[in-house]
Amino acid sequence: MLYQRSSALFKEAQKYIPGGVNSPVRAFKAVGGDPIFVKHASGAYLYDEDGNRLIDYIASWGPLILGHAYEPVINAVIDKAKKGTSFGMPTQIETELARLAVSMVPNIDKIRFVNSGTEACMSAVRLARGYTGKDKIIKFSGCYHGHSDSFLIQAGSGAVTFGSPNSPGVTQGTAKDTLLARYNDLESVHQIVAANKDEIAAVIIEPVAGNMGCIIPSNEFINGLRNICTQENILLIFDEVMTGFRLGRGGAQEALNIDADILCFGKVIGGGLPVGAFAARSEIMTHLAPEGPVYQAGTLSGNPLAMAAGLAMLSELDQRPEIFDSLAKKTAYLHDSFDEVLNKKGIPYHINRFGSMISVHFTEEPVTDFESSAKGNNDMFKKYFHGMLDKGIYLPPSAFESYFLNDALSCQDLDETISALEGLTF
């Protein structure tokens, strides 16, 4: 495939935008080459500036669970836009989306809308600190909760891809309050809790991780985490930015059968527009301004266009919950077929999958945490990524990301993807 126009556009972008992109992982640094510039998209396909059609496995990094330019979502946005795009005043549709989200997700009574997953997680931690009166938080290496200061400590996603899991610019003062545990290692949590008795406000975790590839928590680990938090009066924050409204109506809480105390959302809840949210039981949410003293605000929070997209998206998922099952089946089919092909090729690999999230790691060992994920062979990953791209398959351009399947992917698309893998030489 030719990407001349994308390359020219990237060159021009680099003159005015740092690295030519507005979010680092898009720059293809982990896989080499120039990023693809999208012209438009529809259903399961991206159409780039050079006229190539690509089968899309990132779905805008998760939000587009029903495929690109999904008509009910687009129509809802158009209708709303005609009536004004932002007021900085309350609108009825905010309550409609809040009511629907609260009805779908376990353990939440109230929800606050923000503009991104980053905002949701940073505000959730502030709320946890305000509620408990404690300062420290525990996060897990390789988990990524957006780019606010407290979370750029051994962060996953683009932060690790670009070699700044602990970013310059984060002060020692902030970093000292973020304590680092290992994913799937309960003992590491026990040790930190014991060494910081009565000082920890919250444990924040991606309940199914998607920012070091897809990583699944063991039952023992995730249940144990819940127990430690309950025993020690620590709030358990599930960062469901990726998993919320994707692993099922009730997200990871429902899929793993675990109750969290505060939930963070982004991606699917905005239907492809910039929406984040955090939610909890009333007892916790009443601490938030203007009801309580924990401050949080935003001019574009609850923006009517974003709310319209989110409402159209969640309504569809609420009415057709079988979508989650169908997506999981498609993902399982892809997994089984990739197993067959890669086994035949005799390549060392591991595939992790949960619901419609999946990732391929080129390593002999099972991938259960950041350390094992980082052992993946990146040269192999680059060949795989570019080989698939050449055959019209768009995968995440970094091994530290999950794929997100969307409902528009047909059996034919999946088979085209499997044939592309068959044709690869590593």
Residues of the shown chain interacting with ligand HOZ in the complex, contacts defined by CB under 6 A: 23, 25-26, 61, 157-158, 211, 401
Q: Least CB distance from residue 237 to ligand HOZ, whole Å?
A: 18
In angstroms, the CA 220 to CA 273 distance is 36
Q: Which residues lie below 8 Å from residue 402, measured CB to CB, with a gap of 6+?
A: 210, 211, 213, 214, 242, 357, 358, 359, 396
| 403 neighbors 351 (Cβ within 8 angstroms) | no
Closest CB to ligand HOZ among residues 157, 253: 157
Closest CB to ligand HOZ among residues 248, 397: 397
Closest CB to ligand HOZ among residues 40, 320: 40
Identify whether 239 is a catalytic site residue.
yes
Q: How far from chain centre, in Å, is Cα 241?
A: 5
Identify whether 144 is a catalytic site residue.
yes
| 389 neighbors 310 (Cβ within 8 angstroms) | no
Closest CB to ligand HOZ among residues 48, 94: 48
Q: Least CB distance from residue 398 to ligand HOZ, whole Å?
A: 8
| 271 neighbors 313 (Cβ within 8 angstroms) | yes
Out of 80, 267, 382, 391, pick the active-site residue.
267
Identify whether 198 is a catalytic site residue.
no
Find residue 384's DSSP bridge partners: none
**Residue closest to ligand HOZ, measured at CB:** 23
Q: Least CB distance from residue 238 to ligand HOZ, whole Å?
A: 16
Residue 298's CB: how many other CB atoms inside 10 A?
16
In angstroms, the CA 287 to CA 280 distance is 11
Closest CB to ligand HOZ among residues 189, 277: 277
Closest CB to ligand HOZ among residues 132, 359: 359
Q: 125: which 2 tokens?
A: 């931690």
In angstroms, the CA 112 to CA 396 distance is 30
Q: Least CB distance from residue 17 to ligand HOZ, whole Å?
A: 13
Q: Which residues of 182-200 are buried (b: 16+ CB within 10 A; e: fewer)?
A: bbbbbebbeebbeebeeeb
Q: Least CB distance from residue 79 to ligand HOZ, whole Å?
A: 27
Q: Least CB distance from residue 263 to ligand HOZ, whole Å?
A: 18
| 322 class by beta-carbon count within 10 Å (0-12 exposed, 13-18 middle, 19+ buried) | exposed
Catalytic site residues?
A: 144, 239, 267
